[in-house]
Amino acid sequence: MSANTMRFKATIKSIGKPNDVLQQVKMRFRISLFWNDPESNIPKMKEELKLEGRRIAKYNNQNIDVPQVALINSVNFSETSKAQVHSLNNNGNGLLRWTCEYEADMKQDMDIKDFPYDIHDLKLEFGITVWKEVGTTYETIEISPAGEIDNEKKGDLFGKVEEHVRVVGFERKGLNCKVLRKDYGALSQRMEFYIPIRRIHTPMHQNIVMPLLLIHTIAILSLAYPIEEVNSRVGSLLSIAFLEIGIRFTFDRKLPTVDYSIYIQQMVNCLLYTLLLLVIESYLLYFFIIRIFEGEELQLIADIIDGVSAFFCHGTIDMDCNENEGSRQEGRSVG
């Protein structure tokens, strides 16, 4: 590992409830930065080095340049413990560690179009903002996760999420990381830590989705009315249609406010549209079979058309649910 490689390690201590509207989440974490300075000649020691400002650490009369860490996707932050620099020198490799604990509101990219089956990555992005002049030790800086050389204990090389950490309303997985190499201007590389989370959809599924599907199935069964009783059939369909509209308005107030339709809204819209189509189908059948042809022998044709319509409406709902279940299955492999 080259001397000019900066290695990051993150320990996540708490995660607040994600804000779907502001696209933010409050997190408390400790970030550590490891680098090698073979010219420092500082022995391994338990005591921290004295920091002068943010850029210089002192050992006796020697000044050690401290790389500056940037919290790239933070909206605001505060230090919950002071920054420290330690010498972890091992066999003259000049290993140094800077560490600090923060509490910060971290900006996220949360697309909730699959709500309540949505999956996200909670991200923390870091970089190095102070660059050395040409010809010095850190003229070019490579970024990477911390490795075995940086850790006195085995396991959790580049960091971890502490076991007690919970994300309200979500299931979480462990910590992952990757290096982003793009043209960021002064920051040519970024270190990204991310935690895959999946919304706990069971309450919404059991209390909203399943009752809606059962009510909708009852509405479709109203096609069992003979076409001569079109008013009874249409009355049942419209009653349940208005019930679905009421349910939609009720839970809309509790949904995240976004400028696009989310899955649960699209599903209720689909249920409503199919009921209205069945109302139109019922009146058309009544008009042509009873009013125009006036033939009881055509009742069989009406029953067949009703059956095809019911099958189409139920199939549309089933296909939509299966498609969403497929996306959830794909999401389970994340992280």
Q: How confident is the model at residue 190 (pLDDT cuts 50, 70, 90)?
A: confident
Residue 144 has pLDDT above 50, yes or no: yes
State percent of the chain over pLDDT 90: 27
Is residue 76 within 8 Å of 27, Cβ to Cβ? no
Distance of CA 2 to the CA centre of its chain: 35
Tens digit of each residue's pLDDT (9 = 90 or more) over 210-250: 888 888 888 888 888 887 888 898 999 999 999 989 988 88
Do both 280 and 328 map to the same domain? yes
- Residue located via tokens 């406010």: 257
DSSP string, 163-222: TT---TTEEE---EEEEEES--TT--EEEEEEEEEEE--HHHIIIIIHHHHHHHHHHHHG
Do both 168 and 30 map to the same domain? yes
294 vs 213, more confident:
213
Instruction: State the DSSP H helix or E strand holding residue 120, giving kind and residue range, or none if neither.
Output: strand 119-128
**What distance in Å separates the CA atoms of residue 286 and residue 306, rounded to the nearest whole number?**
12
C-alpha dihedral sign at 149, 150, 156, 158:
negative
Do both 91 and 138 map to the same domain? yes
Do both 188 and 209 map to the same domain? no
Tens digit of each residue's pLDDT (9 = 90 or more) over 68-110: 888 989 999 999 998 999 888 777 678 889 999 999 999 999 8
- Among residues 45, 155, 154, 53, the alpha carbon closest in space to that of 97 is found at 45
pLDDT at 98: 92
Main-chain phi, psi angles of 325, to 5 degrees:
-65, -35
Domain boundary among 199, 226, 246: 199
Mean pLDDT of 129-152: 62
Q: Which residues pair with 145 in a beta bridge?
A: 8
Mean pLDDT of 167-171: 94
- Among residues 14, 23, 164, 11, the alpha carbon closest in space to that of 103 is found at 14
pLDDT at 30: 95
Do both 208 and 306 map to the same domain? yes
Do both 90 and 146 map to the same domain? yes
pLDDT at 334: 40
Question: With 0-12 CB in 10 A as exposed, 13-18 as middle and 19+ as buried, what is 253?
Answer: exposed
CA end-to-end span of the chain: 27
Instruction: Report the phi/psi class of residue 26: left, alpha or beta, with left for phi > 0 and alpha for psi in -120 to 50.
Output: beta
Do both 102 and 122 map to the same domain? yes
pLDDT at 316: 59
Do both 272 and 181 map to the same domain? no
Does 211 sit behind a cis peptide bond, omega within 30 degrees of 0 on the bond before it?
Answer: no
pLDDT at 125: 92
Tens digit of each residue's pLDDT (9 = 90 or more) over 26-72: 999 999 999 888 777 788 777 788 888 777 888 887 888 888 888 98
130 vs 115, more confident:
115
Residue 139 has pLDDT above 50, yes or no: no
**What distance in Å separates the CA atoms of residue 39 and residue 92, rounded to the nearest whole number?**
9
Encoded tokens for 210: 């399943």
Q: How confident is the model at residue 333 (pLDDT cuts 50, 70, 90)?
A: very low
- Residue located via tokens 């008009």: 287
Residue 297 has pLDDT above 70, yes or no: no
**What distance in Å separates the CA atoms of residue 81 and residue 241, rounded to the nearest whole number?**
57
- Domain range enclosing 94: 5-199
Do both 168 and 214 map to the same domain? no
Domain boundary among 155, 184, 199: 199
- The helix/strand/coil state of 38 is coil
CATH number at residue 217: 1.20.58.390
| Domain count across the chain | 2
Instruction: State the DSSP H helix or E strand holding residue 59, giving kind and residue range, or none if neither.
Output: strand 56-59
Q: Angle at the Cα of 140 (from 137 to 145), degrees rounded to 5? A: 100
The β-bridge relationship of strands 176-181 and 142-145 is: unpaired
Distance of CA 15 to the CA centre of its chain: 13
Do both 97 and 117 map to the same domain? yes
CATH number at residue 172: 2.70.170.10
Do both 305 and 317 map to the same domain? yes
**What distance in Å separates the CA atoms of residue 208 and residue 202, rounded to the nearest whole number?**
10
Q: How confident is the model at residue 319 (pLDDT cuts 50, 70, 90)?
A: low
Encoded tokens for 190: 């970024």
pLDDT at 55: 79
Tens digit of each residue's pLDDT (9 = 90 or more) over 172-189: 998 999 888 765 555 567
293 vs 163, more confident:
163
Do both 48 and 162 map to the same domain? yes
Residue 295 has pLDDT above 60, yes or no: no
pLDDT at 39: 74
Domain boundary among 161, 184, 199: 199
